[in-house]
Structure 1
Amino acid sequence: MSTYAIGDLQGCHAALEKLLEHIEFDPARDKIWLVGDLVNRGSASAAVLRWAMGLGDALVTVLGNHDLHTLAVAEGFVPLHRSDTIQDILQAPDRDELLGWLRRQPLAYGENGYLLVHAGLLPQWTPQQALALAGEVQEVLRGDHYRDFFAHMYGNEPRRWHEELHGMSRLRLITNAMTRLRFCSAEGEIDFAHKGPPGSQPAELMPWFDVPGRASSDATVIFGHWSALGALLRPNLAALDSGCLWSGELSALRLEDRRLFQLPCAGLPGTKRWK
């Protein structure tokens, strides 16, 4: 049995199929962990969701910002962006089943010393605290009043964590950190403006995983979201968004021996030229 953590798919179903063939994935034996952003910007988001649903217990995924955006669009709270490619989900005969399954996925997942999250963790959060906070959002998304969450999800405030935060301000900060974080200050204030590689940011900012004393450093955090960062492996870190959508590579990390598999995506259906 092997467990493969795979980077952002974003609707790139053709690349996914080729990668699964390359690693000889067997759903009867192996497991897949996805870092989120299963959908949007690629050409086959509905196909990716149907594949993921069909794996049942052989798959673990967390929610990414594009997944949450898709749900908010479907609920009518925001319009489609010009670059969105989720019409195949919105017009699908099994739309309700696909969206209902997606909405019930967690923001973070932990197992055997690994913590799976889409974007990152604020430096104050221990792995246990991060999972508990993700659970607060998950409880709302799985509850009867989930539409209230999408009505107030968008926004960049607050930018710093305080335990006293409550209501939608608390849920928005948790969601933004786990699905949008790249750079932050040493105090953990989120920056939303800079998306380039490390070194391109202002001096007062740093990658979230490089903040001194980061409280989650005793777990191996697996994440995606940051295509400009690319694949990055450290003893307690695995960044797996290597820009498949942008004709980069689709990355899979086998957790048992930390072997990295990468599939070149240029020219495959649904991919784009580098942004």
Structure 2
Amino acid sequence: MATYLVGDIQGCFDDLNALLKEASFDPSSDHLYIAGDLVARGPDSLAVLRFVKSLGEHGHTVLGNHDLHLLAVSEGIMKPKGKDKTLPILEADDREELLEWLRQQPLLIHVEQANGESPGFVMTHAGIPPVWNIKTAKKHAKEVESVLRSDRYAWLLENMYANEPALWSPKLEGIEKYRYTINAMTRMRFCKPDGSLDMACKLPPEKVKDRSLMPWFQMPNRRTINETLVFGHWAALGGVLTDNLLGLDTGCVWGGSLTMVRWEDGQRFSRPCPIHA
């Protein structure tokens, strides 16, 4: 049994399938973990959803910002983004089954250490805000997941579209707390010196003129410094592979590549992708 971690697929089903074949992925015994954004700009988001769902207990994904946006579009809350290719999902015979399955997926996955054989990891789409430890992150993720899986999910989707509050406070309640959690776990890239989230800048860190902005994972006193964090979302980073940070978005659909890592031995699999975005 092997564990595979892959970055943002964005509807690039053929590229995902090619990577899995290269790695000799066995859907009956291996496990696939996806760092969110199953859908959006690539040519076959419908096939990606159907495939990951078909893996059952061997397929795992966190929700990304594009996945949440698809749910909002499906409810008539938002319109599809100009370059999204998700209409086939909305017109599919199994539309409701797929969207219901997607709505049940978590914001955070914590795979704990197994019998001392290999370290565990924590996966979210964008990261974990520096002020939170894993226990706190799991608590707030579960709160959002509970609402998303309830009959209040449309209310949550309708009210998640804003950049405020940018600064965490334990006093946040209701939609402000939920929105901060969603933004931090699915949209975050940079933080300001006071720890507040900057939602505007999408550049690679070396090209940022405002030197007060810092990647969330480089913030001083980050409370998850001793955890292995797996994330996607930030294509401009070009991937991050260190001892305890795995940034797996390497620009699939942007002319980069789709990247997958086998957790047990760190072997990397990568496939160049054409520009779809």
TM-score by length of structure 2 reads 0.95
Counterpart position of 2:245 = 237
Establish whether residue 22 from structure 1 lines up as the match of residue 26 from structure 2.
Answer: no
AA paired with 1:195?
Answer: K
Give % identity.
Answer: 47
Which residue, 191, 212, 231 being the options, matches 1:204? 212
Pick from 174, 198, 203 the counterpart of residue 191 of structure 1.
198
| Superposition deviation, residue 163 in structure 1 | 0.7
Residue-by-residue CA offset, 1:213-258 (whole Å, 9 max, x unaligned): 1001121000000011012111110000011112211111111112
Equivalents in 2 of 1:254, 1:132: separation in Å? 28
1-structure distance, mates of 2:222, 2:91: 43
Match of 1:118 among 113, 122, 125: 125
1-side partners of 2:265 and 2:81: how far apart? 40
Q: Work out the CA distance in 2 between the residues paired with 1:189 and 1:199.
A: 20
Q: State the alpha-carbon separation in 2 of the partners of residues 126 and 116 from structure 1.
A: 13
Q: Tell me the SS of whatever aligns to 2:135.
A: helix
The amino acid of 2:19's aligned partner reads L
Q: Let me know the Cα RMSD of the aligned residues.
A: 1.0
- Paired residue type of 1:41: R
Amino acid aligned to 2:203: G
Alignment partners' CA distance in 2, 1:80 and 1:16: 23
What is the distance in 1 between the residues matched to 2:123 and 2:218? 18
Q: Which residue of 2 aligns with 1:3?
A: 3
Report the equivalent of 1:43: 43
Gaps of 5+ in 2: 113-119
What one-letter code is carried by the residue in structure 1 that aligns with 2:131? Answer: Q
Amino acid paired to 1:232? V
- Deviation readout 1:176-203 (Å, 9 max, x if unpaired): 0000000012322111111011122211
1:253 aligned counterpart, secondary structure: strand
Name stretches of at least 5 consecutive residues in structure 1 with no aligned partner. Answer: none
Aligned partner of residue 228 in structure 1, secondary structure: helix
Q: C-alpha distance in 2, partners of 1:186/1:110?
A: 28
Letter in 1 for 2:152: H
Distance apart, 1:60 and its partner CA = 1.1
Give the 3-state SS of the residue equivalent to 2:5 in structure 1. strand
- Please give the TM-score of this superposition, normalised by the length of structure 1: 0.96
| Structure 1 residue ranges (4+ consecutive) displaced by more than 2 angstroms after TM superposition | none
Deviations 1:3-27 (A, max 9, x none): 0100100000111111111111001
Equivalent positions of 1:1-275 (< 5 A) are: 1-112=1-112, 113-201=120-208, 202-266=210-274, 271-272=275-276
